[in-house]
Amino acid sequence: MKPCVTGLIPLVHVQDVQRSADFYRLLGMEVRESLRNRFGVLEWIDLVCERAQLMLTRASVPVVAGQQAVLFYLYSPDLPALREHLLAKGWNVSSIAYPEHMPKGEVRVEDPDRYVLLIGQAG
């Protein structure tokens, strides 16, 4: 058998781990593990929802939106409902677009550190 990796979990540097974790909970993610410093401040968290996984860690320098060379692509089984949920919670979410690569629909939203999330309709 050829050597290979069998998993990949993005590890993202954020200004405030708790604030970002709260946002990703709106997407249905749940805490699998976390780590707090001696002052009780959340330093690292491992989030999961079905097959989606994400780790967040506290940045040691300011997060600059224009220097982020990554975007996250997520899937939702009910994109219109997720979009309405995020709008109701005060997040700026694009209308549903139907680009060639995602004819079932896709939205764009930014997380608290302005990382771009594209969310496509699953299935």
Closest by CA position to 28, among listed 119, 123, 114: 119
What is the per-residue pLDDT across 104-117, written as a single tens digit (0 to 9) for each?
999 999 999 999 99
Domain covering 11-121 assigned CATH 1.20.1050.10 in the classification:
no
| Whole-number pLDDT of residue 5 | 65
C-beta separation of 42 from 18 below 8 A: yes
Express each pLDDT in 79-89 by its tens digit.
999 999 999 99
Specify which residues 117 forms β-bridges with.
72, 109
The predicted model scores a pTM of 0.86
Residue 64 has pLDDT above 90, yes or no: no
Domain edges within the chain: 11-121
The yes-or-no verdict on residue 96 having pLDDT over 80 is yes
